[in-house]
Amino acid sequence: MKKNMLLKAGSVVIALVVWQIVSMAVGMEMLLASPLSVIQRLAVIWKEDGFFFTVLFSLLRITAGFLFALLAGIVLASLAGKFKAVEILLWPWVVTVKTVPVASFIIFSLIWFTYSQLTVFIAFLIAFPVIYNNILQGIKNVDGKMLEMAKLHNMSWRRRLLYVNLPGIKPYLFSACSTAVGMAWKAGIAAEVIGIVKGSIGEKLYESKIYIESVDLFAWTVIIILLSVFLEKAFMLILKALFKGVEKL
Amino acid sequence: MIKFNNIRKSFGDRLVIKNFSLDIKDGEFIAIMGPSGSGKTTLLRIAAGLENADSGEISGIPERKAFVFQEDRLAEDYSVESNMKMASRKKIPEAEIETHLEELGLAGEIKTKVRKLSGGMKRRVAIARAILADADIIFLDEPFKGLDNELKKNVMDYVKKYSAGKTVLMVTHDRTEADYMTKHIISLSFY
């Protein structure tokens, strides 16, 4: 485990060195910023006016979109698991959302939503099918023998949910959330860039493109990655704690 | 009184149970014996309402049932306590759970997650769950499978003690087990 971590850290250092060499070879920070410049920029960027507002703006909206998707995914997958008609009715919608390019949705949404709603909606739209499909798969794969045991002992719906359904769905829910958080981030930021959503991280990325500020582009990208990792880890920790609490019941 | 009347069951072309009839008095302990494939488990499942017979009738099966399946069918991520309580209709105090665990040689395991238990320990938890289910009829499908001889005797005594007065249908292929548990032994190979 420790050896694996060391190897990974080593590979990151090598990648940074390669990046530095290529950047030096290009010789124009404007075209390809060096990792050193990016680190220097990161050291000061957070002190600038409005930095935390910008971060919170995107963080809150993407998180909201993801949470709506989680809620809708759980409710609709539960209904689809119970009633085949619901699964069939939802099928074209889920397939459409999965297959249509995110850029098309963003441009379409610009007609219908305000700039501040756009990020929430796109994060929701991209996370929803992942969560819905995974949970539905989990519901379908709940252990039939445990269901039989619960039925025979005439267990209440609460106990069936607690002891039979939740353990079956758990691995699917964890995998769905882990994947969907990252996807919601990428799509949410893309929506902010295309929609030039005022006060967002996406707007900062757009500005760095307009002014050919390669260093800023990389610095904000690093911030996006860090926030995405933070959100995923934080959410997974909360989810694990919730399940731990439930399993103590 | 439970009545099995001309029960017949086949899977495809294979006839598993042929015209099985039996009367069981309330509170009787019946052991059903027979070689592998003789339809013991199928008969138990039909009696419990988990499977339908092709023909014949069963009457008098009580509403409140408990079942020890061949597999443990426990919620692995939950504690021993949760698993023991899950099939019960009434609230069971922790002290009562502790007493049952002590009798089963599982003292101190009340808060242990089932996932961490050995096969034999899981088996005992599954048996305790059925006993604590407060059922009027208990179905036992090879309940002592996987338990070593000394432990088996303890667990058999436990089942005898707590199932007294209840109707029990037990499937086993082990004559010694059947003899130890009851005088009422039925061999399916004769049908």
* Mean pLDDT across chain B: 92
pLDDT of residue B191: 45
Question: Pick from B64, B67, B86: which is nearest to A155 by CB?
Answer: B86
Q: Summarize the confidence of residues A79-85 as an average pLDDT.
A: 95
How many residues can be counted in chain B?
Answer: 191
Helices (H) and strands (E) in chain A, counts: 11, 0
Residue (of A226, A126, A133) closest to A180 by Cα position = A126
Q: Summarize the confidence of residues B35-42 as an average pLDDT.
A: 87
pLDDT of residue A202: 93
Which residues are paired to B186 by β-bridges? B32
Contact A55, A119 (CB under 8 A): no
Q: Summarize the confidence of residues B77-89 as an average pLDDT.
A: 93
Taking 90 as the threshold, does the pLDDT of residue B150 lie above it? Answer: no
Q: Which residues contact A204 (CB under 8 A, 6 or more apart)?
A: A54, A216, A220
Smallest CA–CA distance from B85 into chain A, residue: A159
**Eight-class DSSP state of A64:** H
Residue (of A164, A156, A179) closest to A246 by Cα position = A164
pLDDT tens per residue across span A131-175: 999 999 999 999 999 999 999 999 999 999 999 999 999 999 999
Contact A10, A3 (CB under 8 A): no
pLDDT tens per residue across span A14-32: 999 999 999 999 888 888 8
**Eight-class DSSP state of B144:** T
Smallest CA–CA distance from B51 into chain A, residue: A148
Taking 80 as the threshold, does the pLDDT of residue A119 lie above it? Answer: yes
Distance between CA B178 and CA B184 in Å, rounded?
9
* Mean pLDDT across chain A: 92
Contact A218, A33 (CB under 8 A): yes
Alpha-carbon distance B86 to nearest alpha carbon in chain A (angstroms): 7
pLDDT of residue A98: 87
Question: Pick from B69, B77, B79: which is nearest to A149 by CB?
Answer: B69
Distance between CA B93 and CA B113 in Å, rounded?
19
Structural domains in chain A, CATH included, are 50-247 (1.10.3720.10)
Helices (H) and strands (E) in chain B, counts: 6, 8
Q: Summarize the confidence of residues B122-138 as an average pLDDT.
A: 95
Residue in the structure block whose two tokens are 């060499």: A21
